[in-house]
Structure 1
Amino acid sequence: MKYCSIASGSNGNCYYVAKGQQAILIDVGINTKHLELRMWNLGIIPSKIQAIFITHEHTDHIRGLSVFCKKYQIPVYLTEGTYSGTKLRLPEHLVNIIKPNATIKLGELTIFGIPKFHDAKEPCSFVISDGKSNISILTDIGRICENVKHVIQHSDVLVLESNFDEEMLANGRYSYYLKNRIRSGWGHISNRISVEVFQECRTNRLKHLILSHLSGQNNTIEIVERTFAPFCQDIRFSIATRTEETELFDINELVLKQVV
C-alpha cells in the first residue's frame, strides 16, 4: 500500500491510501485547486481516485468535497449524521450513507469505520487494510476510548492526532469558550495524551507513526518532535504539516527495511 498526508491541520485535512488499482481519500478539506496541485507534486492522478470517505462535517474536512467529487464523479461515503451536518447537496448517485462502524470493500482494500468522540453529529475514523497491513487514520479525537486503543494495537501505519500543547493552549489567545471546547473530551487530544496512548498501545507490528492535525496557534513541530522522537527510535517517524503534503510512502519499503 501507498499512503500520504495531502493536508493536515485546522486549515484542511486530506489523506491518501492506495493499493494496486484502488485509491481513496479520507476527507477533502482543502479546495480543489490546491488539492490538485499537491496531488501533482506526489504523482497522484485525481481521476484515479475511486472513493472519498468523510470522517465528519467540520469545514476543515469537507471544504473541497463538493467541487472535487462532482468534477471527477467520485463516490462519497459518509454517515447520515455527517451528511446532514455538511448541509451540502451532493449528486444522489455519488452519495453512499454508511454506519459509523461500517465495513466497505473496494477491490483489494477494506475500509473499516471506527466510531469516536468528537463534537460532530455522527463522526468516525477509518482504518484501511489490504488483509496484511492496516493503515489507521485517527484525528479529531475528543478523548481516548477503547476503539482508539484497539486500532493503535493493530496498526502497521498510524496517523495520530497530536493537536495542541497544553501550556500553549492555556496561555494562548483563544477565548475561554474555545479553549474549553478543544480540551472538553469532545474536541481534540493534546501532545501529552497522544504520546501516552501511543506508548500504552503500540505493538511490534507498528512500522510508521505520522503525527497529524497540529494546531497552528497552540502547537509547534518542534514541540511534537521533542515529545515523540525518544519513543520512535525503532520506527519511521513523520510529522504532517499544515502547509504541504508529506512524501508518498510505500509500506513495502518499510517492511524491507525492518527485514534488513
Structure 2
Amino acid sequence: MNYCALASGSNGNCYYIANAENAILIDVGINAKHVELRMANLGIAPTTIKAIFITHEHTDHIRGLAVFCKRYQIPVYMTIGSYRGSRLQLPENLVHIIRRDEVIEVGSLTICGVPKYHDAQEPCSFLVSDGETNIGVLTDIGRVCDNVKHVIQQADILLWEANYDEELLDTGSYPFFLKNRIRNGWGHLSNHTALETVLKYRTCRLRHLILGHLSGQNNSVELVRQTFAPHFRKIKLSIATRYQETELFDSRALLPPLATKIIIQQVSYQATFVFPES
C-alpha cells in the first residue's frame, strides 16, 4: 500500500491511502488548490481518488472538501452528526451517511470507522486495510479509549496524534478556556500521553509510526522527535507537518513484521468498537 500525509496539523489535515486499484482520502482540511499541488508533487492524480472519508466537522478537516469533491465528483462518507455540523451543502449523490463504527469497502480496501472522544458532534477515526496491511489514522483523540487501543494493536502503520507539549501549553498565550478545551479529555493528546500509549499498546506488527496533527503554537517537530526517537529505533519513525506533504511511502519497503499478520476480515470490528458517551 502507498500512503502519505498531504497535510497534518492544527490548521489542516489530509491523508492519502491507496493500493494498486483504489485510492482514498481521509479528511480534506486544506483548500483544494493546495491538495492538488501537494498531490502533484508526489505524482498523484486527483482523478484516481475513489472516496473521501471525513473524521469530523471541524474546519481543519473539511476546509477544502466541498470544492474538491464537486470538482472531481468523489463520494464522501461521513456521519450524520459530522455532516450537519459541517453546514456544507454537498450534492446529494455524493454524500454517504455512515455510522461511526461502520465498515465500508472501496474496491479491495476496507475502511473501518472507529468511534472516539473528541469535541465534535459524531466523530470517528479510521482503520484502512487491504486484507494484509492495516493503516490506522488516529488524530483528534481526546482520551485513549478501548477503540483507540484496539487500532494501535492492529496497526502495521500508525498515523498518530502528538498535538501539544504540556509545558508549552501551560506557559503559552492561549486563554484558560482554550487550554482546558485541548486537555480536558475531549480535545487532543499531549506528546507524553501519545508516547506512553503507543509504548503500552503497540504490538510487534507495528512497522511505521507517523506523528502528526502538531499544534502550531504548543509543539514543534524537534520536541516530538526528541520525545519519540529514543523509543523507536527499530521501526520507521516519521513526523508529518503542516508545511508540506510527507514522501509517498510504500508499505513494501518496510521491514517485515516480527509477528504473523492478523487479517482484518477475521476481526469483528462492529462487535468490538463501543460508542463513547456524548
Does the CA contact (< 8 Å) of 1:20 and 1:108 recur in 2? no
- Identify the residue that residue 152 of structure 1 maps to in structure 2: 152
Cα deviation 1:158-211 (Å, max 9, x = unaligned) = 000000000000000000110000001000010010000010001110000000
- Identify the residue that residue 173 of structure 2 maps to in structure 1: 173
Q: Which amino acid counterpart does residue 129 of structure 1 have in structure 2?
A: S
Aligned residue runs from structure 1 range 2-21, under 5 A: 2-21=2-21
- Identify the residue that residue 140 of structure 1 maps to in structure 2: 140
Give ranges in structure 1 of 5+ residues lacking alignment: none
Cα deviation 1:110-148 (Å, max 9, x = unaligned) = 000000000000000000001111000000000010111
Aligned residue runs from structure 1 range 104-119, under 5 A: 104-119=104-119
- Identify the residue that residue 229 of structure 1 maps to in structure 2: 229
Does the CA contact (< 8 Å) of 2:165 and 2:191 recur in 1? yes
Q: Which amino acid counterpart does residue 77 of structure 1 have in structure 2?
A: Y
- Identify the residue that residue 35 of structure 2 maps to in structure 1: 35
Does the CA contact (< 8 Å) of 2:205 and 2:257 recur in 1? no
Q: Over aligned residues, Cα RMSD in angstroms?
A: 1.2
Cα separation, 2, equivalents of 1:228 and 1:19: 29
Does the CA contact (< 8 Å) of 2:2 and 2:19 recur in 1? yes
Q: Which amino acid counterpart does residue 217 of structure 1 have in structure 2?
A: Q
- Identify the residue that residue 270 of structure 2 maps to in structure 1: none
Cα separation, 1, equivalents of 2:60 and 2:36: 17
Does the CA contact (< 8 Å) of 1:112 and 1:127 recur in 2? yes
Cα separation, 1, equivalents of 2:192 and 2:135: 23
Aligned residue runs from structure 1 range 1-260, under 5 A: 1-255=1-255
- Identify the residue that residue 272 of structure 2 maps to in structure 1: none
Give the secondary structure class of the aligned counterpart of 1:210: strand
Cα separation, 1, equivalents of 2:130 and 2:57: 27
Report the alpha carbon displacement of residue 257 of structure 1 after superposing the two structures with TM: 9.7
Give ranges in structure 2 of 5+ residues lacking alignment: 259-278
Does the CA contact (< 8 Å) of 1:139 and 1:213 recur in 2? yes
Q: Which amino acid counterpart does residue 233 of structure 1 have in structure 2?
A: R
Cα separation, 2, equivalents of 1:138 and 1:85: 20
Does the CA contact (< 8 Å) of 2:8 and 2:241 recur in 1? yes
Report the alpha carbon displacement of residue 14 of structure 1 after superposing the two structures with TM: 0.2
Does the CA contact (< 8 Å) of 2:163 and 2:212 recur in 1? yes
Structure 1 length as normaliser, TM-score?
0.98
Does the CA contact (< 8 Å) of 1:54 and 1:77 recur in 2? yes
Cα separation, 1, equivalents of 2:55 and 2:28: 10
Report the alpha carbon displacement of residue 236 of structure 1 after superposing the two structures with TM: 0.3
Structure 2 length as normaliser, TM-score?
0.92
Identity of matched residues, %: 64
Q: Which amino acid counterpart does residue 80 of structure 2 have in structure 1?
A: E
Aligned length: 259
